[in-house]
Homo-oligomer: A and B are copies of this chain.
């Protein structure tokens, strides 16, 4: 069985859990706190980030982009149907662009800071930066959510899925990111009706179920988080 080192509120980890779910690959999950910089984990991935997948022969694959390309090559591309990459190389380029947008750009401009200020800093020792949230950082990160949601809403208004009419890795990457912010009650859904319709569809997939039942110590999810019809 494969092993995934992940963190429940990491968008990149959630994305890989969704891909594993879509491919019905059963995986042992191990929670890793990046901020703890555990030696054994740094030996697997010197960059210190989740997710890390222990693949065949226990070889570590580090980072969401590396892992999903590997899972596509070893599982996705072998499928007859319901592939998560479109056939056309230009469309695959668009999927990869959106994956980077949601897993890196959106993450670095908003999600990462909100998770760190609101959640991680409560658990981290003071000596490594733990403590009360920095309200200025939170304010800046929150201000960055709206333009990203407008962009997602615009994408969802013009197409069934983010790239064309079929589910792709881009839908899973975007939904993973959104699910973290939705868990924390940071999304104003009234402003993004097309994105809301799209997210309800992705959230109803069986691969999403484990994410909706995640329990995180000391945190209560936003009231509608696990509702499939919210």
A residues within 8 Å of B by Cβ? 46-47, 55-57, 59, 61-63, 65-67, 69-70, 73-74, 89-90, 92-93, 96-97, 100-101, 104-105, 151
Contacts and interface: CB of A to CB of B under 8 A. Distances in A.
B70 A93 contact: yes
A92 B92 CA distance: 18
B97 A62 contact: yes
A92 to B, nearest CB: 7
6 contacts: A47-B101, A47-B105, A59-B93, A63-B100, A66-B93, A66-B100
B97 A73 contact: no
Given A63-B100, A101-B47, A104-B104, A55 B92 contact: no
Contacts of A97: 61-63, 66
Most interface-central of A59, A66, A93 (chain B CB within 10 A): A93
A178 B153 CA distance: 39
A63 to B, nearest CB: 6
A89 to B, nearest CB: 5
A34 to B, nearest CB: 14
A90 B63 contact: no
A73 B69 CA distance: 13
Contact of A70 (B63, B69, B70, B89): B89
Residue among A46, A65, A74, A101 having the largest count of chain B Cβ atoms under 10 Å: A65
